Structure 1
């Protein structure tokens, strides 16, 4: 009888080869992945956040306008009987207010000619000019890692320097104007340079120092405006300066009919100078290095304390230009102690909205100039308090300071994060296998 050999079990390698392979998830196309990631970065980036912050602030402003409107309140009493009346009243209140805001800031459709209709735009440019100057100075300090709250004091000192030089040293045009502008830059740089020096030498916190110097500058200018022979005009007891000589006044950009002056062109030049300084110069590279990581910059051989002094001085020079505008363009007949008009604090919001970038600061300055210029027309035409505009400005800062809140409201992705869809697809395929 022949022996039969029992069948041998297959080797593990053969079993593994015999088993069907688990399906693999399709590999995403590199081009599609890059495009999707770029789109996610754009949608979650700072530009979209800034635009949506302005939109949300305007929406909240519309709600406040509607709630405080008497007609809306009256029609709300019988809303369930005739809801269309309340909706129409809301539309009329909000639409009329924002239409007046547009006509007061961009173009007045009620004027018969284009020259008259475009006058609100020139008012916006005029209101935006000092905000751009101040915003650039605050933004530069941000880039170095310093929080400059001293815009008010730097505007006051810069404007006082410019005015004093203008009437104390008579010169022909345009030499008188150039010297007065340079004096304003020096005044703002000097006042902010004190902060940088104290920060570098003693470690004093720049927020406390700048706030205190605001008070010092305000009361110093008030004292000098009451002192004969200092800043007070001769032959008067009023706390007011002499008039600015015509040779030192900033001339109108489009003639005497419009309020915008050549200071707006100077603001464009200042924005370009800020861009060149921070992106094309060796000093700007050191500023950015100190702002990113002072310890690493010090290890690389950069004098951090010296950068604090230089940076604050240059930032104060930019802010001092806002004081120059206020004295040589806005109040050429003589200024009082309040000629800063709160611009130092508005400049902080402009710098925040502009993300400390020159183009962003420039656009943010135009936006806030439009809100300021159109807000008065909205108040006069519709009886809406100017406080609504201040609330909108404050809400813009609130939303800018809280990007996660804006992303949560609109469901935006966080920049730099990958989409979860490929991972979900991979998990489902693995579960089926």
Structure 2
């Protein structure tokens, strides 16, 4: 079996193993697995409204997955996507609330503000990594909490609505929502952001695979010493990689602030989208197209699971277990490779 075919088959096998083990857990717990999966499918694709919600959920997953995947591809571990997403969310909403501009200026400006905020939030761990070799995992994890509490403070202190725990709604000129999608999907929260996410995926693929700068970024990720010896600016590429990753994360926040919700609220905890982006990137093999496919799966599972308690009486937390199992099998891909290699050798004999 070729390496390319093996790499493509491992995520599929991981998904199947996750579903199989999840089914066994359902049966042991006394639940009807067939009814559960039927309710899951119905909740994701049974009505056009649900399908619109799936695509809406897929949108930030794609961008969060790209943020994690881009850093992985360039030798970095950006665990701070959640914080960068939150900062981008607030920046986009602030522009959407504070300015009253024509739509063709206001909406791009709000999206750009989110991208810049996410990139700037990722700049610091990139700089610390480049200049002082401070491990980016530690810094980005800590900055998640800084982002959460700082944005909550800004909302309460400077951007409160009369309720005090959220901002005002953004102006319609800054919204990604559209009457076209509302009519098409029976008033789901689907918005134009899905096209931004797809364009971002194409951009990541083109940058890493078709440009000299992308080659340098990947080279630095593979071997910093060899890259330095060949004349590449290692520190500059490390910082640039983290900033681009943060831009993707900030855009994910814009999708929530300008599309799904239309405001920023005080958060009692993390949104989870940034952390789910790690799983999306792993399942997608850190490739742009793979991230899109993985985001579709995760979005369908997240939205469809909400229907499981209603139709089948199965708690939707079981879907979180299945997702965790999928991630486990992807992370343990070396075990799957060993089994596949043994089967391949037996087939040759």
Number of the residue aligned with 1:274: 204
Query: Post-superposition shift, 1:69?
Result: 2.0
- Listed as ranges, the matches of 1:257-406 within 5 Å are 257-337=187-267, 341-406=271-336
Task: Say which SS state the counterpart of residue 287 (structure 1) adopts.
Answer: helix
TM-score with structure 2 setting the length: 0.94
Number of the residue aligned with 2:40: 101
When structure 1 is superposed on structure 2, of 348-357 and 290-299 the one drifting more is 290-299
CA distance in 2, matches of 1:420, 1:94: 34
CA distance in 2, matches of 1:262, 1:237: 29
Query: Post-superposition shift, 1:191?
Result: 0.1
Alignment length (residue pairs): 345
CA distance in 1, matches of 2:117, 2:9: 37
Query: Post-superposition shift, 1:254?
Result: 2.1
CA distance in 2, matches of 1:421, 1:250: 53
Runs of 4+ with deviation above 4 angstroms: 418-422
TM-score with structure 1 setting the length: 0.76
Number of the residue aligned with 1:167: 97
User: Could you say if the C-alpha distance between residues 372 and 301 of structure 1 is closer, same or farther in structure 2, counting changes exceeding 3 Å?
Assistant: same
CA offsets 1:238-266 (integer angstroms, 9 cap, x no match)? 22111111110102362352321100111
Number of the residue aligned with 1:183: 113
CA offsets 1:297-347 (integer angstroms, 9 cap, x no match)? 111111111111101001100011110011111111553335962111000
CA offsets 1:69-94 (integer angstroms, 9 cap, x no match)? 26xxxxxxxxxxxxxxxxxxxxxx11
Number of the residue aligned with 1:49: 10
Query: Post-superposition shift, 1:420?
Result: 7.0
Task: Verify: 1:413 aligned to 2:344, yes or no.
Answer: no
Higher relative contact order (CA 8 A, sep 6+): 2
Number of the residue aligned with 2:160: 232
Maintained 8 Å contact 2:167/2:264: yes
CA distance in 1, matches of 2:310, 2:85: 30
Number of the residue aligned with 1:249: 175
Task: Say which SS state the counterpart of residue 267 (structure 2) adopts.
Answer: coil
Query: Post-superposition shift, 1:419?
Result: 4.3
Number of the residue aligned with 1:25: none
Number of the residue aligned with 1:120: 50
Task: Say which SS state the counterpart of residue 182 (structure 2) adopts.
Answer: coil
- Listed as ranges, the matches of 1:135-214 within 5 Å are 135-214=65-144
Query: Post-superposition shift, 1:64?
Result: 1.3
Maintained 8 Å contact 1:40/1:413: no
User: Could you say if the C-alpha distance between residues 195 and 275 of structure 1 is closer, same or farther in structure 2, counting changes exceeding 3 Å?
Assistant: same
